[in-house]
Amino acid sequence: MASSVKVTLRKKPNTQGLYPLAVRITKDRRTSYLYTGQFIELKHWDATERIVKKSHPNAVRLNNLLLAKLSEANTKLLELQTTKDDISSKQIKKEISAPLNKTTFKELSESYLQEIKGNGKLTRYASDKVRVDHLVRFAKNSYLTFKEIDEAFLRRFMSYLKVSKKLSQRSIVNNLVVIRTLYNRAIKQGMVGRKHYPFGADKIRIKFPETEKVGLSIEEIKEIEGLENLNKQENHARNVWLFSFYLAGMRVSDVLQIRWSDIYDDRLHYRMNKNNKLLSLKLPEKLLPILKQYDLGKASEMDFIFPEMKKAKTENPQDVFAKTKTATKKFNKYLTLIAEKAKIDKKLTMHIARHSFGNIAGDKIPIQMLQKLYRHSSITTTINYQANFMHRETDDALEKVINF
């Protein structure tokens, strides 16, 4: 029976909701798929022409890749049919995908990084790019294959990160997580066999170390609220920090993108950048004096409350990300000075606003309500997060034992 090789879009999306481009190999009504390692949204696929639509920003490059893979597969299929009479679709796939074993770590990682960047996950892109670069620099080999990334290699890499790069155990684990993600992709796409997988109970185990989340106390926050000897920059940094804290530790990326039009009916209505969730919160009375300080700078209802995003190219996610990163660095610089003036010996940063809310909430608020306030998708995430600040039961137990 005739064999056929066609490019296709598999209707099984990944965790980001993107669909894999593949070469479909059919022989005797049995089908196998050879993955290209590229993923697109369903709306960018032309099922009739079997090409990526022009609406995709990398349509030309992806279509050239598909054409090359299709040509390569057809050439290999003709060779096999002239030398072997009886061959299955899986055998054809194995023969065609053999060159994939030579795909390097760097090649697959570049594809992975472009994918998450294209999905607008710029924070993750920036952090994962650093982690990929760590491995490439350590290997001193741009042609490093996945077979070479074995248990012994990873143990040397972990030592390098700890001794040479001075990274914490948590940061080392984050590096391993990226490598594991890429290794799983390489296995799925036929670039390396599962027998070479270097992770597992008897190999490299990935275990996140416990981290201490430190938040400010009520007294420390009152000290910050009551400071009067602040300059203009310090006062602005305090305002942004308190805005975040008063709204349950809202992320700075969300704070800076709040517009005047998002506030109506005495409530703040906004959509989170991280997971696109829509939220409505009653505007705390404590926020009103802060908002009043920025009222004179309001050009229109669509204007941003805080000035950092006023000149941002809002249609360009990379520009918004860059300005948010610059602003956060600036805020943290002035928050350090504010902590000194308030005689607070804890490290004061924008992120600690979230920890401070959790610290004061403790076990006073039902976990389901905290899940809403934190905007967590899973209550397990909320439980694990809040466990850092819930000490009453352990404190009571200790008191019962030693107070005799």
- Find where tokens 């809403």 sit: 372
Q: What is the pLDDT of residue 166?
A: 94
What pLDDT sits at residue 83?
Answer: 56
Burial of 142 (0-12, 13-18, 19+ CB in 10 A): exposed
User: Can you give the pTM of this predicted structure?
Assistant: 0.60
Residues 7, 22 contacting (CB under 8 angstroms): yes
Query: Cα–Cα distance between 204 and 305 in angstroms, integer?
Result: 48
Q: What is the dihedral of CA 6, 11, 15, 17, to 10 degrees?
A: 100
Assign 353 to helix, strand or coil.
Answer: helix
**Residue 235 scores a pLDDT above 80:** yes
Name the nearest CA neighbour of 367 among 357, 377, 382.
382
Residue 384 has pLDDT above 90, yes or no: no
Q: What is the mean pLDDT of residues 305-311?
A: 92
CATH of the structural domain 105-196, one choice from 1.10.150, 1.10.3210, 3.30.870, 1.20.120: 1.10.150
CA distance 386 to 33: 45
58 falls in which pLDDT band (50, 70, 90)?
Answer: confident
Tokens of residue 52, six digits = 């990526």
Rounded CA gap, 255 and 31, in Å?
51
Average pLDDT over residues 74-84: 67
- Please state which of the ranges 27-41, 100-114, 360-374, 386-400 shows the lowest mean pLDDT: 386-400
Query: What's the pLDDT band for 273 if we cut at 50, 70, 90?
Result: low
Which whole number is the average pLDDT over 317-340? Answer: 93
CB atoms within 10 A of CB 188: 13
pLDDT given for residue 377 in this prediction: 63
Kindly give, in sequence order, each residue whose CB lies less than 8 Å from that of residue 271, ignoring residues fewer than 6 positions away: 277, 278, 279
From start to end of 43-155, where are the E strands?
45-46, 51-52
Confidence of residue 368 (pLDDT cuts 50, 70, 90): low
CB atoms < 10 A from the CB of 36, how many?
Answer: 19
Q: Where in the chain is the domain with CATH 1.10.443.10?
A: 218-361
Mean pLDDT on 118-131: 90
- pLDDT at residue 84 in the model: 55
pLDDT of 24 above 90: no
For the ranges 8-17, 50-59, 232-241, 277-286, which has the lowest average pLDDT? 277-286
Band of pLDDT at residue 382, cut at 50, 70 and 90: low
Question: For 187-196, 254-263, 376-385, which range has the lowest pLDDT when averaged over its residues?
Answer: 376-385
Confidence of residue 307 (pLDDT cuts 50, 70, 90): very high
Here the tokens at position 110 are 């570049």
What whole-number percentage of the chain has pLDDT above 70?
80
Report the distance separating Cα 102 and Cα 45, nearest Å. 28
Amino acid at 137: R
Do 258 and 305 meet the contact criterion of CB atoms below 8 Å apart?
yes
**Which amino acid makes up residue 16?**
Q
Domain with CATH 1.10.150 in the chain: 105-196
Element (H, E) at 263: strand 263-264
Top-level class of domain 218-361: mainly alpha
pLDDT, tens digit, 9 for 90 and up, residues 340-359: 999 999 999 998 888 887 77
Mean pLDDT of the chain: 83
Query: What's the confidence (pLDDT) of residue 385?
Result: 52
More confident residue, 63 or 88: 63
